[in-house]
Structures are given as C-alpha cells and as structure tokens.
Chain A
Amino acid sequence: MRKFLTRLGRFTLLRAFWLFLALVVAVFLTVVIANMGGEMDRVKRAEIKQYIGMAVFQNPANKGVPKDVLAAMVEDLCRVEYKRLGLDRPFFPGRAFSYTWTALSLQLGRAERLASDAGSRDVIRILMERLPSTLILFATAELLLFLIALFFALFLSRRYGSAVDRISIALAPSSAAPGWFYGIFLILIFAAVLRVLPWGGMLSLPPPKDTGVYLLSLLEHMILPVSAIVIGAVFANIYAWRTFFLIYSSEDYVELARAKGLSGQAVQRRYILRPTLPPIITSFLLTLIVMWMGQIVLEHVFNWPGIGQIFYRATQVSDTPVIVGVIVIYGYLLAATVFVLDFIYAILDPRVRVEAAGARG
C-alpha cells in the first residue's frame, strides 16, 4: 500500500509539474501576443503622451508659460507616468517574464477599458463576477455528456448489432461539428420557429427576485446551450466508448466470469467497466480540453454572460489585462480539471496498482 501511495504521489507530482509548465507557456504566449510582442508599449506611450500633453497645454493655469517650458513639463510628467507603468523598461525579456509571473500569481491588475457589471475595474472582480455562470453551464453540460455517453455506450455494447446500435454509430460523424453549430440550429428551432425557449442570455429580464423562480429561469435558459454542448460531442464519445467496451467484453476473463454464472450486471461492473475506465477518462479528458476552448464561441452565440464572452469582448477592445486574466483563470481551471481526472486515472489504472502489489510481494 505504501509503495502504491509513493507511486501515486510521484505520478501526481509529475503531472502537476507538467500542467504548471503548460500554464506558464500559455500565459507567457498570451502576454507576448496581447502586447503584440512589445508593440503595444508604443501605443500606450503615445496615448499617455497625448493625454498629458492635452492636460498640460489646455490647463488655464499654464496660460502665458512659454511653449518650450510646457513641452519640458510634458516630458517630465510622461517620464514619471512611463516609470509608474513600467513602460521605461524594455518589454523583452524582463517585463514579459515579470508580467507572466504576476499574472500566474493571480495579481491581474486593473482593466484598461472594460468594467464589471458592478462597476469595478479590477480584473479579478470582472472575472469572478462571470466565473459562476461559466462554471455552472460547463459543469452541467460535461457531467451530462459523460453520464449519457457512458450509459448509452454500455447499453449499446450489450445490444451490439441491433438497430439502435447501428443508428447511434451512423450518427457518430455528427460530432465533426462543434457545439455552437448545433446551438444555432437549436436557437432556430426552439426560439425562432417554435418560440418555446429563450434566444439566449442567462436569466429572464428583470432577474427574478424569488429564489425558486430564479432557478427555474436559469434552468430554462440553460436547456439550449447545454443541449448544444452535449449534442456536439455525445455521439463520437458513445462510438469510441462502445468500442472499448466491446473490445474488453471479448477478453477471456470476462468469458470466465460469465461461465462462473455471475450476473450480467456484475460482469459489467467488475470486469468490463473497471478496466475500460482509464482509457475512457483519457478520451473524455481530450474532449474536455477542446470544449473548454469552444466555450468562448458557445457563450458568444448564446449571449451567455460568462468568461468566454468577456474574453471575446476584451479582444475586441484590446484590453490586455483582461485577456491575460481570462487565460490565467481558464488555464488554472483547465489544469485543475486535467489534474483531477489524471488523479482518478492513476487510482483506477490497474497497472499502477498491479506494479505496486508486485513490488510488495
């Protein structure tokens, strides 16, 4: 058992290291791109110079002061402002790295253009305001996706070759299209034509005060985006997982278990589901990573007030601190999800345990 734990610990640490490294690379890339490799400095310096120049030259108190004195005053003020913002140092390499580091330590600074709905310009507040809506949508959809795919894959592997099986397999190519694509169709059908579900958004207007009504309204607005996410990936997952199940259910030890007279359910739970879970979790992990990214478009299409939407808005107005902030938060969430699933994988993976047991014996 102790061997197993050390192995598990080493595996976990290694994973944590890689995830963190990936996070650093992602944030560094973001910092570089969102500052246009330092080009953004020139824009900012020009903005500051114009702003200070206007403030100095149009100040009535400065009337009659010679032009060159005023120009020198502007220069001085600019220098102070550049220093305050760190613009006096070159972007590469020092500032790019320190920016990456402060961002990773969640000191996200203040937004340049956007503000939170409550009026704050703190990036962290802007993001925290939107994080719950993203999480509730994403978590619900992914959980549903996992359960539905798992259930149907098991179900179909038992009915291999039946009409239901064939239909589901024929539908697998539908996952070539991303969730937002189905989202558009769902809006078309249920909002535009049938007019039974809302077009988008998260709550009806004005937001209901009563908790029960609030939850109902939230639920109503979640139906379409959640369905879009699920439809966009469910058939490919059913197809892949069903294949795993079929491969494993033809193994000798499964036959033996059946021959022993174990019930179908017991065989499925103990001999099929258990060894297939690790590859299933790996495949689900890849889906999850892709979907985290797709969330931006989905929130855009459904006008969902989440982090993806604020990322899109931030790129529209070149609000670098918010862009970097979103990537950092996204990165941490993604890393956390991957880490948890990896951990589950390590616990479930028979090889980890078998080797540990072998070492003990």
Chain B
Amino acid sequence: MPSSTRASVLRLREHGGKERMGNVLRSLKGLRRYPSMIAGLILILFFVVLSMYTVIALPYGDAIRLWRGGPGVWDDSPRNAVPVWFDLFYKDSLSRTIVVPFEAETKTEETIGDGMKRVEIVLPFQFGYDTFPNELNIFTEATVVTTATLSWRTPDGRTITIQEGRVLRKASDVYYVSQDRVLRAELGAAPHVGLFADPADEARPLKGDYELVLTAEVAEDNELDAKVVVYGKAHGLAGTDHRQRDLMVALLWGAPIALLFGILAAVGAQVSTFVLAGIGTWMGGKLDKVFQWITQVNLILPVLPILIMVGHFYSRSIWTMLGLIIALNVFSASMLTYRAMFLQAKESPYIEAAQAYGAGNWRIIFRYLLPRIAPTLLPQFVLVIPTFVFLEATLSVLGLGDPTLPTWGKLLNDAYTGGALYKGYYYWMVLPSALLMLMGVGFALVGFALDRIFNPRLRTV
C-alpha cells in the first residue's frame, strides 16, 4: 500500500478527530446556554453521591438483612409511622418512639421463703408529646415460664392494672398491649390511648413521668427482666412501613440499584444496537437484510408480557430481568435511526480513502465508521436510562421485583398492596415516587439538552 495514501487518510481522520474534539469542547462551553442540562447534571450527581454514600454507610449485606426483617430486627421501630419532619405540618407534636431498655429497669427483690422471691421491676419514662403513641409493647426475658402482674402509673398518680397473672413465656416474650381486647374494654379505648389519656380531656395525652411496674414471684435462682417500647407516630426521616421497617433502607438502596440497572440496561441495549447497526450497514447485503427483518419483528414483540411471564415462570432475579431486557432491546427502534446515520456516513470521502489504502471491513467499521456517529449515541443513551429505571419499577409494581432487593419500585408495590392510599399513609407512596421522578427527570433533562447540542438541526428550534 502506498504510504502516502495511508498518511493522508490518517491526516483526514486526524483532522476530523480534532474537529470533533473542538466541537465537543465548544459544546461543553456552550453548556451555560442549557440551564436544563445543568439542573439535570446536578440531579444525577446527587444520586451518584447518594449511591456512594449508601454503599459505604449501609453495606449490601446489612441492607438485605434489615430489609428481610424477621424477629428482633425491627422490634424498636413503630409500624406505619410518618417521617419526623411531618411535625412541620401539624400544630401538635407527633409522638416519637420511647424505648425503655432492659438496663433502665430498677429491680427490687424480696425473699418470701420456700426458695421463692418477689421481684418488682419498675420501668420509668417521660412522655411529652401532644399526640398519643401508635402502639405499646412489653418485652420480657425470663429463665422459666413466669406469671406476672403488670400495672401502669400515670403522672397524676393513678395506678391502672394492665393485666393480672400474665403468663410470660420462657426466654423472650412479647406482650402486645395494644391488642389486648380485655384491657381495651376496660379502658373504653385502645390501650395505647386509654393508658395515656388525660382524665380531664380524653382527647389529649397526659404529659409527664410514667412508670410500668411488673411484679412476679419466681424461684430464687431465676431471673426476670423487662423492656417497654412506646411506639411513636413519627420515626426517622422516611417513616416506616407495615412491617416496622425503616423506609430509609429502601430509599437509600433504591438509588444505586436504579442507577446501576438503568445504566447497565442502556449500555447493553444501546451500544449493542449501535455496533450491530454499524456492522449491518457497512457489510450490507444479506446481513443488513437479516438485521432489518429481526428489527421489524422485534419492534412489535410484547416486551412487558414476556418479562412478566419470565418473572413468573422462571426467575425474578434482577440480573435475569436485566439480561432479558437487554436481549429484547438489541434490535430496538433505534436500529432504524442509527442505520440512517450510518448510510450517510458510509459515503464520506475519508471512508473511501480508508478503503483505498486497503483497510479491512472490521477496521473500517470500528476505527472509522462507529467513532464518527458515536456522539449521536450519547443523547439516545441518556434518554433511555429513565425508561429502564421505570421498567424495573413497573415490574416491581406488578409484584415481579427481585425478592431480596429493597428498591423504589418494591416500596411502591408494598404501599399499593398495603393500601397506603386508602389508609392515608401518603408518605409511603410519595417518597419513592418522588425519588423515581427526580432520577427520571435528571436523565431526561440531560438527554434532551444533549440532543439539542449534538443534533445541530434541532439547535435552532
């Protein structure tokens, strides 16, 4: 091959390359003209930082364990509590969770003969909120099965017997005071309301120092301990769900999962489409025809029903879904757009020059053809990310989310099946939706702005 031809091709390409770089730089300088782009970038940056923080602050294993829940994991957090900043919207302060731990008890023991002793455990706490608690639980730990009497001392000096002769199971036991029907009947109100109500004004709780007293007669060498949890109406920055889980776990972990899912799916789907379109257009002939046929068919395949079926019959793992989504999007509608662009680029003089110096098909495709169109890939690529993020949410809302992962879509599904809207737990639905929306809008803003930057035809309009 004459080296001069090759050099001139290189020069041609080099020149094109420089021009491209210059274009990109100029475009970036022009960013100021696109405030929407800056807003979008800030949003994306926010989610990237949030994801990094999440992965470091709450490692994957912990998040999965916390989200799975189970006995003991969420004992101290309330059920369906609103975020604490809801205080801003109410005149009355929302009650918070008060945990009176095992260590806080004052225990007095008195020998009563026959190898027995009488134990009195007092658990004091202060209640100073304008609203009633959500629930009341008493946790006990006993060496053997024990019978105990539980009573309640209010700030104004009344003593209410909660239950006499309560049987406490061996090892740990929970007494769900709020669900005690007998007590409810006696108090004429839900226990967690009746026990706190101000006798002068039944609609308001009485503020001050309360005490839970537990007395029991046990054998000399046996132990008995107690803990009280007064569950609040507000908890944490994100509130809690019907299984007492802090929504923050899923809100935080939803960010890296959504980002990763959206970006991986976009990379897999768009880049493969792009490369295949390039190969098909350059090779032409049968290969190009076949690619076009597959695209025609693929275009109207029922993607969501296929995903639903695979999710139901095979696996709900997020990786299966991701792989399937990529596979179904390789021959997507973008194929047609890219093909049109490649057909134009194919005729450029520098490609002809490359052919002249004897560059092979693959060399032309990967060194000359693909790089030329690559910038147009970027807006498309950014614009499809939110589509995939919402696709994951869609699958989750249909109950086909990955069973172990805490994601925003799973929160929406929990909220939907848990009747969040009927019961007025709006925060449960609004928080994950807001994050989903912000992420979607972030990428969409950047994508639209990039579209205008890289497609000059749109710049003027």
Contact = CB atoms under 8 A, between A and B. Distances in A.
B444 A173 contact: yes
Interface stretch (A44-52, A54-62, A140-148, A185-193): A185-193
Interface stretch (A23-31, A124-132, A256-264): A23-31
Given A174-B441, A293-B303, A296-B304, A181 B309 contact: no
A318 B301 contact: no
A33 B421 contact: no
Interface residues of A, number: 57
Contacts of A199: 421-422
Interface residues of B, number: 48
Contact of B421 (A181, A191, A246): A191
A301 B416 contact: yes
Interface stretch (A78-86, A112-120, A202-210, A322-330): A322-330
Interface stretch (A4-12, A68-76, A331-339): A331-339
A111 B445 CA distance: 47
B299 A176 contact: no
Contacts of A316: 312
Interface string A230-250: 000000000100010011000
B424 A192 contact: yes
A180 interface: yes
Given A33-B310, A330-B302, A246 B436 contact: no
A227 B457 CA distance: 33
B437 interface: yes
A192 B444 CA distance: 30
Contacts of A218: none
B296 A22 contact: yes
B36 A178 contact: no
Contacts of B437: 177, 181
Contact of A243 (B306, B387, B430, B461): B461
A214 interface: no
A338 B301 CA distance: 12
A173 B34 CA distance: 14
Given A33-B310, A311-B308, A178 B394 contact: yes
A354 interface: no
A18 interface: yes
B394 A297 contact: yes
List 6 A-B pairs, minimum CB-CB distance, nearest first: A173-B444, A176-B386, A176-B440, A293-B304, A246-B461, A176-B444
Interface of A: 18-19, 21-23, 25-26, 29-30, 33-34, 36, 160, 170, 172-178, 180-181, 184-185, 187-188, 191-193, 199, 239, 243, 246-247, 286, 289, 292-294, 296-297, 300-301, 311-312, 315-316, 318, 323, 326-327, 330-331, 334-335, 338
